[in-house]
Amino acid sequence: MLIHPQFDPIAVSLGPLQVHWYGLTYLVAFTLFYLLAVRRAASAHFAARGWNRPMVEDLLFFGVLGVVLGGRLGYVLFYKPGHYLSHPAEILAVWQGGMAFHGGLLGVIAAMALYARRQRRHFFEVADLVAPCVPVGLAAGRIGNFINGELWGRAADPSLPWAMVFPQSGTDVARHPSQLYQFGLEGLLLFALLWWYARVPRPQGAVAGLFLLGYGLFRFIAEYFREPDNFLGLLALNMSMGQWLCVPMIVLGALFWGMAKKDAFRS
């Protein structure tokens, strides 16, 4: 049975300035997105549609705003609405933690819609360029969760070779390192799947639909190994909040992928 290494959450201290590992993982995520999106924009399919590096840079700016604002507001609305209704000043206290992927996704969707409108492009053209570039950023974020020793897993059989005790949980229970499961599933595996699928031109909307479907399925599975938030526990049908939020992603992803195969989103 392993013990979480108890990393110092502060990566670098320069006088009063402290740089946290979690902040660095966000920087890594945005950098990887930029590099991959530039490569996507330079491919024959997107280059023929006029995509270039400056457009990717503008898109990244919109995306960063969507991730940060959407992720924070999603956490506030989906997970602790009562608390933040009583303490509205804490909504802006992002340094205290509290970001939700599903809120970040909605923020990014809104950012892509605004960008597509400004550029007079079809929303799914933008979404198809973005989708394969996202999972590596998600993987970086899960490494940040692991370094912080947060979002730990449910109790595991102590004989499991990689079962791990997270002292931050306040117990000596052996747990699944669910952050690493999510790193592998919704990060590396989803990236490999989407990058392979998007290697050739697909019907508009198909890549974005597969992202929603794939992430929803992988996150739904990972939630069976992740400890539910203690202030929520398991909800109806013994499903976590994360799983319930994945259900519409799976349904919409399958719907969009099927519609795209019928050229429903052709420009």
Q: Give the residue numbers of the binding site.
A: 142
Q: Which region holds residue 237: left if phi is over 0, alpha if psi is between -120 and 50, else beta?
A: left
Instruction: Select from 171, 168, 142 the least CA-distant residue to 155.
Output: 171
Q: How far apart are CA 185 and CA 188, in angstroms?
A: 6
Q: How far apart are CA 130 and CA 113, in angstroms?
A: 12
Q: Are 111 and 66 in contact (CB under 8 A)?
A: yes
Q: How far apart are CA 96 and CA 81, in angstroms?
A: 16
Q: How far apart are CA 217 and CA 43, in angstroms?
A: 29
Give backbone dihedrals phi and psi of 174, rounded to 5 degrees, phi first.
Answer: -70, 135
Number of residues that this document lists for the chain:
267
Q: Are 106 and 2 in contact (CB under 8 A)?
A: no
Q: Are 92 and 70 in contact (CB under 8 A)?
A: no
Q: How far apart are CA 174 and CA 194, in angstroms?
A: 34
Tokens 């992603």 sit at which residue? 249
* 19 Cβ contact list (under 8 Å, min separation 6): 10, 11, 12, 13
